[in-house]
Copies of this chain bind each other. A is one copy, B any other.
Amino acid sequence: MPELAQAPSAPLPRHLAADDVGIVQAKDFHYPGVFTFASGQAIEGFTLRYETYGSLNATRDNAVLVCHALSGDHHCAGWHSERDAKPGWWNNLIGPGKAVDTRRFFVICANVLGGCQGSTGPSSTDPVTGEPYGVNFPPVSIRDMVDSQKLLLDHLEVAGVYAVIGGSMGGMTALLFAIEHPRIVRRVLAMATTTRESAQAIAFNEVGRQAIMQDPAWHQGTYPRDGGPRVGLAIARMMAHITYLSDASLDRKFGRRTIQGSGAAGGSAAFDLKFEVESWLRHQGQSFINRFDANSYLYITRALDQFDLAYAYGSLEQAFAPVQAEALVVGFTSDWLFPPEQNRAIALALLRAGKRASYAELATDLGHDSFLLESDALYTLVRGFLERNETYVFDFAI
């Protein structure tokens, strides 16, 4: 007698996976006081949009502050709805049982001040004029991102930050947080980052800014909410996206594959899509303009360019002198935006300043964006750093 056919069990929705934080919701922190920027300018009150996963423990010291990169936001894990196509940007790293274990840690991630995903920035309404701040928003620095996030932690009554972690701009933010708030930060984990950009990185950012500001729709930064320099922003994003990857990864992903039907068209059609990499690039530009504000892009790239720990504190060693946290710095071999040497230099300077610091170099071919990759080597490294009680050897490669 044949067995009864069983209905195939439906695959578990991804947000219900055992190691997924599931459906999450952003919250808004409204700071009511006057906030003075590093520039000296001030605004009356600001909002940070943020998410938290896990629970604050009884001693309120199991917080893990996650800091996002230029185009990132507060949504670093989980899903906003069951219909979401993608989870938060670091969902592979954060969750119950994952490297950043939300059963143990209270994870906090906020969209940066100056951003455009719910936190106060150039696209927010200036209470004085009733119009978007635009370029009348005060210049934003990494320092302002740190200060505003510290106010959020105070609001959440966080007493201790078990770790502050981030890649790229998030790595800068994490380092500065550990410098400015040494008594509450126990560990700092910075990846694919630098203590100051090279001339080449500044140059790429400048081309992006020029593409935005030379777009007639920029209107000196006073474009309406439903308009703006979409073309310039797309150009800026396309170019920047190339710098986040690597020659090898683009070759592996696209090579010289051409698009079906792209023949020897004449006229302006001769410059239509021919190669798959072009199609991907245009898609990157188009999807970015639907989610990012051009003035925010100007402000945040300026914050990146002007971040310079050695300049701000006299030397790297002086910058790191107050740090009490133990540090892990991770560089990626194929990262040519903030190359391995710049990451190694951070750990070396921390060591020279008498701190506990390790440097690990991961062999990847994904370029700068490697810190977002799915990599057991990275997960093991992060898990080890967050769980262990001992420091390990200084410099190693995986």
Contact A211–B235 (Cβ < 8 Å): yes
Q: Collect the chain B residues with CB atoms within 8 Å of residue A135's CB.
A: 266-268, 270-271
Asked if A210 lies at the interface with its beta carbon under 8 angstroms from chain B, I say yes
Determine how many copies of this chain the complex contains. Answer: 2
- Known contacts A274-B306, A302-B271, A306-B274; decide if A336 and B247 are in contact (CB<8 Å): yes
Select from chain B the residue with minimum beta-carbon distance to A264.
B39
Q: Which of A174-227 contact B (CB under 8 A)?
A: 196-200, 202-204, 206-207, 209-211, 213-214, 216, 220-221
Q: Which of B199, B220, B254 contacts A255 (CB 8 A)?
A: B199
Q: Which of A270-295 contact B (CB under 8 A)?
A: 270-271, 274-275, 277-278, 281-282, 285
- Known contacts A135-B267, A139-B264, A256-B308; decide if A282 and B210 are in contact (CB<8 Å): yes
Nearest chain B CB to A321 CB, angstrom units:
22
Q: Collect the chain B residues with CB atoms within 8 Å of residue A238's CB.
A: 203, 206-207, 210
Cα distance, A94 to B323, chains bound together (Å):
58
Asked if A242 lies at the interface with its beta carbon under 8 angstroms from chain B, I say yes
- Known contacts A39-B264, A207-B238, A235-B207; decide if A202 and B278 are in contact (CB<8 Å): yes
Contact B235–A199 (Cβ < 8 Å): no
Select from chain B the residue with minimum beta-carbon distance to A41.
B266
- Give per-residue flags for A50-73: 1 if the beta carbon is below 8 A from chain B beta carbons, else 0: 000000000000000000000000
Asked if A345 lies at the interface with its beta carbon under 8 angstroms from chain B, I say no
Contact B250–A200 (Cβ < 8 Å): yes
- Give the interface of A toward B (CB within 8 A): 39-41, 135-136, 138-139, 196-200, 202-204, 206-207, 209-211, 213-214, 216, 220-221, 231, 234-235, 238-239, 242, 245-247, 250-251, 253-256, 264, 266-268, 270-271, 274-275, 277-278, 281-282, 285, 298, 302, 305-306, 308, 311, 336, 339
Q: What are 9 A-B contacts defined by CB distance under 8 Å?
A: A39-B264, A135-B267, A202-B277, A203-B277, A203-B281, A206-B238, A211-B211, A256-B308, A336-B336
List of 5 A-B pairs having minimum Cβ-Cβ separation, nearest first: A199-B250, A199-B277, A200-B247, A206-B278, A214-B231
